[in-house]
């Protein structure tokens, strides 16, 4: 298998070795479709609610709009990549790797994160007020570690089947940058809570928990072929392939859409505390 599939991801290996059952194939296709449909719905939400916050907070909504559009396009491509690589084989009643089709790859996701990750990290800086940290040094830290985390992970994911050692080395380097991001985000949220209205403080606490949970799902998806008892051998199972699609979709909806909505709620509370009350305004929406 390695000689014909090389450094492609484990989805292709499963497709060639055993193929996918109807359920595994369809669930994957559906969950990818759900993903891009939600991004479009999110896009509308962020456009329609932009005037419910004071002008100085609106950059947060604009960044959510940027993220929605790029994620929408990426997930559409990803869904077509999935359906395009497989074709139904009536003899075995399975979807098998299609001769001559493009192989499936998650690399599109990683490069898409180069846009989304910095945007999501900057976004919160336009809503909270930092009490101690310096805005531009936090911004640069987010930008540097975000980019380094993604690029090292991008290199690593090519080796998930062919070279587990390299896969884990690149994954570990990437994780160091990830820890730096978590450290910065914790600091931003704690400072942001100081002096914020009580409701905004509560939303910020929720944002931290959501952030921690959803961002951890991405390294979980990276590790997917190793998450069962396979030890240092990747496990080529269709269950893990479906689990990876579902993990990515939950992570995407949480880290982009729900996160953006919670930031909008924080900005609405801050706006209200500063005398901008959209609930009692004409033409607010």
Residues that bind ligand RET (CB under 6 A): 113, 116-117, 120, 149-150, 153, 171, 174-175, 178, 215, 218-219, 222, 255-256
Q: Least distance in Å: CB of 110 to ligand RET?
A: 7
Q: Least distance in Å: CB of 215 to ligand RET?
A: 4
Q: Least distance in Å: CB of 77 to ligand RET?
A: 14
Per the CB < 8 A criterion, the answer to whether 60 and 265 are in contact is: no
Determine phi and psi for 228, rounding to 5 degrees: -100, -165
Strand ranges (E), 32-156: 86-89, 94-97
Three-state secondary structure call for residue 125: helix
Which residue's beta carbon is nearest to the bound ligand RET?
A: 153
Q: Least distance in Å: CB of 252 to ligand RET?
A: 6
Q: Least distance in Å: CB of 182 to ligand RET?
A: 9
Task: Report the residue number, 104 or 215, with the smaller CB distance to ligand RET.
Answer: 215
Distance CA 209, CA 185 (A): 11
Length reported for the chain: 285
Three-state secondary structure call for residue 99: coil
Task: Report the residue number, 150 or 204, with the smaller CB distance to ligand RET.
Answer: 150
Task: Report the residue number, 52 or 255, with the smaller CB distance to ligand RET.
Answer: 255
Task: Report the residue number, 46 or 218, with the smaller CB distance to ligand RET.
Answer: 218
Per the CB < 8 A criterion, the answer to whether 210 and 262 are in contact is: yes
Distance CA 247, CA 241 (A): 10
The radius of gyration of the chain's CA atoms, rounded to the nearest angstrom, is 21
Q: Least distance in Å: CB of 237 to ligand RET?
A: 20
Task: Report the residue number, 11 or 116, with the smaller CB distance to ligand RET.
Answer: 116
DSSP letters of 21-69? -HHHHHHHHHHHHHHHHHHHHHHHHHHHTGGGS-GGGHHHHHHHHHHHH
Task: Report the residue number, 19 or 146, with the smaller CB distance to ligand RET.
Answer: 146
Distance CA 259, CA 263 (A): 6
Per the CB < 8 A criterion, the answer to whether 103 and 81 are in contact is: no
Per the CB < 8 A criterion, the answer to whether 278 and 268 are in contact is: yes
Task: Report the residue number, 97 or 149, with the smaller CB distance to ligand RET.
Answer: 149
DSSP-derived pairing of the beta strands 86-89 and 94-97? antiparallel
Q: Least distance in Å: CB of 150 to ligand RET?
A: 6
């Amino acid at each position: 298998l390695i000689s014909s599939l090389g450094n492609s991801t484990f989805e292709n290996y499963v497709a060639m070795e055993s193929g996918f059952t109807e359920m595994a194939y369809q669930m994957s296709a559906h969950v990818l479709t759900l993903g891009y449909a939600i991004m479009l719905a999110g896009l509308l939400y962020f456009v329609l609610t932009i005037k419910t916050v004071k002008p100085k907070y609106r950059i947060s909504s604009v960044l959510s709009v940027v993220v929605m559009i790029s994620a929408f396009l990426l997930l559409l491509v990803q869904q077509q990549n999935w359906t395009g690589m497989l074709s139904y084989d009536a003899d075995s009643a399975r979807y098998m790797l299609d001769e001559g089709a493009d192989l499936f790859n998650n690399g599109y996701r990683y490069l898409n994160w180069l846009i989304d990750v910095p945007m999501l990290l900057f976004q919160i800086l336009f809503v909270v007020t930092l009490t101690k940290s310096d805005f531009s040094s936090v911004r640069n830290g987010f930008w540097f570690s975000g980019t380094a985390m993604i690029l090292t992970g991008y290199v690593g994911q090519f080796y998930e089947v062919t070279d587990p050692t390299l896969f884990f080395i690149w994954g570990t380097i990437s994780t160091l940058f990830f820890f730096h991001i978590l450290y910065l985000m914790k600091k931003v949220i704690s400072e942001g809570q100081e002096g914020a209205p009580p409701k905004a403080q509560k939303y910020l606490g929720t944002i931290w928990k959501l952030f921690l949970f959803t961002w951890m799902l991405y390294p979980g998806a990276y590790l997917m072929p190793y998450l069962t008892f396979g030890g240092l051998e990747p496990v080529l199972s269709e269950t893990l392939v479906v689990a990876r699609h579902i993990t990515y979709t939950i992570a995407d909806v949480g880290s982009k859409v729900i996160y953006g909505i919670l930031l909008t709620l924080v900005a609405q509370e801050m706006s209200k505390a500063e005398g901008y009350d959209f609930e009692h305004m004409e033409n607010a929406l």
